[in-house]
Amino acid sequence: MSQYFHGARNFSIDTGTFNTVTTNQYQSPKGGFERLQEHVAHGAFHDSGERFDPPKCHDNTRVAIIKRIMDWISGLDEDTREALVMWLYGAAGAGKSAIAQTIAEILQGQHFFLASFFFSRNDPQRGVAKWLVTTLAYQLTAKLPQVFRERVALTFEQDPLIVTRSLEAQFTALIREPLLELLHSGFSAINHIVIIIDGLDECDDTRVQARIIDLSFSLLDSGELPLKILIASRPEIDISSSFDAKPFSTLARIALDNDYQSEEDIRHFLADKFNEIKTQHRLRSYIPIDWPAKVSLDTLVQKSSGQFIYASTVVKYVASARHRPTHRLEVVLGIQLAKAGDSPFAELDALYHHILMGVEDVDLILQIIGFVILHPPGFSNSVTFIEAFFSLAPGDVQLLMQDIASLISVETYIGHPYGVEEFTVRILHASLKDYLLDQSRSNFFFVDRLKMHTHYAELCVAHMTELPSLEPNLSLHPLMEYFRYLDSLSALGVLFFANTFITLYKIGLSQASNQPTPPVFTPVLHVLLCTIYQQVNSHTLSAQLDSAGLVIIIGLE
């Protein structure tokens, strides 16, 4: 037998047999801290290199929101001083992640003990909760005194499979108990330990989303820990339901709505970014000094609907160093056509696509959204009206819309003639209409105007056949101006538009059981039907709704 030694390897050759033994066999076992590092989602940190140039608040924007959150963390806000968890929520693209990122950077600059986890859908580590607790624990071990790190490491040494345990067990063993031991050692940092969980709605399992909220509260329920948790997400149904079940005193909420001057912030952001383009773009000498025009800026602010994602998407597209900014802005505004393969709103379209893919009855939802965006201007998007029109049960619209709460809001509105509290449907993104009506952008979520109007017209006829006979009354009425508007519509549009008062007539009869039926309905309805008759004679309807058949249905001769 011959033996040869070379470097770290031991080679034994014996009658043709070759055995290799590496020195790895003799390495010492991994310590607890090393084991912890193997289960960390590095890209979820607020300052991770994987999140290069993360979204954050533009200078001098979101000032009021940032102040309120920082006052809560520091215990300076009397209204939220007792709250242990804060929920920051808003529509898709409202800027939640930018605010969370900005808060994280402020806290780091002020030497708070910070741990963060920024969820991101479709990321193998950031799109699941498997890595959440270990990632938070690791960040705290790097910042808190040695006692905390030693306790976490000991847990891994005693139970190397702790990462296979439930989230509840991990929270207890890797965060709660080490923090309690740290406090018992004499550590004192009241209100100086903060956990930020951003994009909770992007966690892949809705049940786990709710569990994380429950765990956050159970982690703090004793009031012993000097810890506060900021959670940012869309108001999805599972998340909202979980927060709604929590004690009011321990939860602070911030809704990203118009109360925080989002439109003014977006205008400021756009103005600053366009100024940067005019001074820094390689073709800046070809950009007029008064570009963009005020009307263009106003249009962009209106299209943003208070959501920063639209504004930031526009800026990224227009600022491209390989294209003329003036031309690209005209593409965004619809003045110029985009080149083949050029998608100004790719990021926004991907967001809309993802949200709509997650709903169950997408066809019915698109019919309702189409109803809202295609009906005549000035008409209230009454939930009662919509449910009557589509023959839905009371409450169906709210149930349907709960899966797209980050795009569509069902809000309380008191505007009924009798002062009745009503719900209305509000589209949170003005640009959603552009997306749905453009087949090249929305693909199978496309809302075809002709098909939708045909469907609505058929529903109109179905409602008409249920109406009782009405006595003719062609006297002038204050709403005649309403009918003059009908002259500019197609026959399909007339039928759809006519449906508003026809259905309201039915709703008025059913809701006014102890009130007199509003006298406006009978004369208005008759004038309306006469107007339809005149329009049908001058337009060509779809094959299913020829003029003769319609006249027979509505009983006009």
Closest by CA to 95, choosing from 53, 132, 65, 74, is 65
Percent of the chain surpassing pLDDT 70: 73
Cis peptide leading into 325, omega within 30 of 0?
A: no
The Cα 208–Cα 185 span in angstroms is: 34
The Cα 500–Cα 503 span in angstroms is: 6
Q: Who's near 357: CB < 8 A, 6+ residues apart?
A: none
C-alpha 341: how far from its chain's center? 27
pTM: 0.77
Classified by CATH at the fold level, domain 362-447 comes out as Arc Repressor Mutant, subunit A (1.10.10)
Homologous superfamily, domain 32-255 = P-loop containing nucleotide triphosphate hydrolases (3.40.50.300)
What is the dihedral sign for C-alpha 104, 108, 111, 115? positive
Write down the pLDDT at residue 190.
55
Q: Who's near 442: CB < 8 A, 6+ residues apart?
A: 349, 352, 353, 435, 436
CB atoms within 10 A of CB 397: 26
Averaged pLDDT of the chain: 79
Residue 556 pLDDT grade (very low, low, confident, very high; cuts 50, 70, 90)? very low
Whether the CB-CB separation of 103 and 65 falls below 8 Å is answered with: no
Domain ranges of the chain: 32-255, 262-334, 362-447, 469-548
Write down the pLDDT at residue 253.
94
Write down the pLDDT at residue 422.
72
Residue 161 pLDDT grade (very low, low, confident, very high; cuts 50, 70, 90)? very high
514 compared with 543, residue with greater pLDDT: 514
Closest by CA to 15, choosing from 30, 2, 34, is 2
At 186-228, the pLDDT tens digits run: 887 655 799 999 999 999 999 999 999 999 999 888 778 889 9
- In the numeric block, the tokens 């968890």 are attached to 85
Write down the pLDDT at residue 494.
53
Closest by CA to 60, choosing from 303, 272, 330, is 272
* pLDDT at position 286 over 70: yes
Q: Please report how the helices 308-318 and 325-332 are oriented relative to each other, as an axis angle in degrees rounded to 10.
A: 140
The Cα 44–Cα 26 span in angstroms is: 35
